[in-house]
């Protein structure tokens, strides 16, 4: 047997073993997409509630992403520069929302920001109510999605050689100038990948949102919640919105892969 034939055989065995899982992941998605027609999409987009759900999802997930970047970048920078036991504990806490059941996340947010919660009671005295508001949607999305950005940003910051940072400081650059001119550009691919995954996870959030923010059409009903309602009352609507969510997620994931962006832990 030739060398090329032996290599092909070695590659064929893992491919055959992987085929069942690949089909499990692929076939349901394909079935959902093929059930959607341009006419069905056009009809659904003519409904006010559908447009409201799409608009709310895009707005809240973008806001959640912006806040995750603003608050997560400093945290990721600290984690990348710190090797103390405390940093390991903080990393575990950051990763915790990614393994929690979404419903548990919603209950935790409700107990914290509800009227009887420690933060919610204080905000209530100031006349601020978060539960069952669009702001609650943003908080729920941040809770489950921000860890994806923090993990990617930490990996990106950690991949920058200390010598490159020290060179900028030796030339008189401030910490902010070092971050802006050296650290951010060199870790840019990881930051972009983390942002893309954070936004994609936020727009698909369901469990924490329905418990903490409710399912109020035009106010807190995002696309995943509209899919849930559609499954009970209007299957065609659920199929169309599901297909839209799949297309959005697929575009984001393909963008990450095709542009070569690195995602969490690639260099750590």
H/E/C letters for each residue in the chain?
CCHHHHHHHHHHHHHHHHHHHHHHHHHHHHHHHHCCCHHHHHHHHCCHHHHHHHHHHHHHHHHHHHHHHHHHHHHHHHHHHCCCHHHHHHHHHHHHHHHCCHHHHHHHHHHHHCCCCHHHHHHHHCCCCCCCCHHHHHHHHHHHHHHHHHHHHHHHHHHCCHHHHHHHHHCCCCHHHHHHHHHHHHCHHHHHHHHHHHHHHHHCCCHHHHHHCCCCCCCCCCHHHHHHHHHHHCHHHHHHHHHHHHHHHHHHHHHHHHCCCCCCCCCC
Q: How much is the pTM?
A: 0.85
Q: Which of 254, 238, 157 is nearest to 200 (CA)?
A: 254
φ, ψ for residue 83, nearest 5 deg: -120, 20
List the pLDDT tens digit at each of the 268 positions of the chain: 455 555 566 677 888 888 999 999 899 988 888 888 888 888 888 888 889 999 999 999 999 999 999 999 999 999 988 888 999 999 999 999 999 999 999 999 999 999 889 999 999 989 999 999 999 999 999 999 999 999 999 999 888 877 666 666 666 666 666 677 677 788 888 898 899 999 999 999 999 999 999 999 999 999 999 999 888 888 888 888 898 888 888 888 887 777 665 544 444 4
Distance CA 181, CA 62 (A): 25
Asked if residues 49 and 130 have their Cβ atoms less than 8 Å apart, the reply is: no
């Amino acid at each position: 047997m030739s060398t090329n034939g032996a290599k092909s055989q070695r590659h064929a065995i893992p491919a055959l073993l992987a085929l069942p899982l690949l089909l499990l992941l692929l076939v349901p998605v394909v079935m959902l997409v093929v059930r959607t027609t341009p006419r069905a999409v056009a009809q659904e987009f003519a409904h006010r509630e559908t447009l409201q759900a799409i608009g709310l999802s895009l707005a809240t997930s973008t806001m959640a992403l912006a806040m995750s970047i603003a608050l997560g970048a400093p945290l990721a920078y600290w984690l990348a520069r710190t090797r103390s036991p405390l940093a390991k504990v903080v990393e575990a806490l950051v990763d915790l929302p990614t393994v929690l059941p979404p419903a548990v996340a919603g209950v935790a947010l409700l107990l914290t920001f509800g009227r009887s919660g420690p933060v919610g009671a204080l905000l209530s005295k100031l006349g601020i109510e978060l539960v069952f508001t669009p702001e609650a949607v943003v908080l729920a999305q941040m809770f489950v999605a921000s860890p994806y950005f923090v993990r990617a940003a930490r990996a990106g910051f950690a991949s920058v050689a200390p010598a490159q940072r020290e060179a900028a400081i030796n030339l008189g650059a401030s910490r902010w100038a070092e971050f802006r001119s050296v650290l951010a550009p060199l870790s840019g691919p990881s930051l972009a990948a983390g942002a893309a995954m954070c936004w994609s996870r936020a727009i698909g959030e369901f469990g924490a949102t329905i418990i903490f923010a409710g399912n109020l059409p035009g106010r807190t009903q995002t696309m995943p919640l509209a899919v849930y309602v559609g499954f009970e009352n209007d299957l065609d609507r659920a199929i169309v919105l599901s297909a839209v969510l799949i297309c959005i997620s697929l575009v984001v994931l393909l963008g990450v892969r095709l542009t070569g962006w690195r995602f969490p832990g690639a260099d750590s």
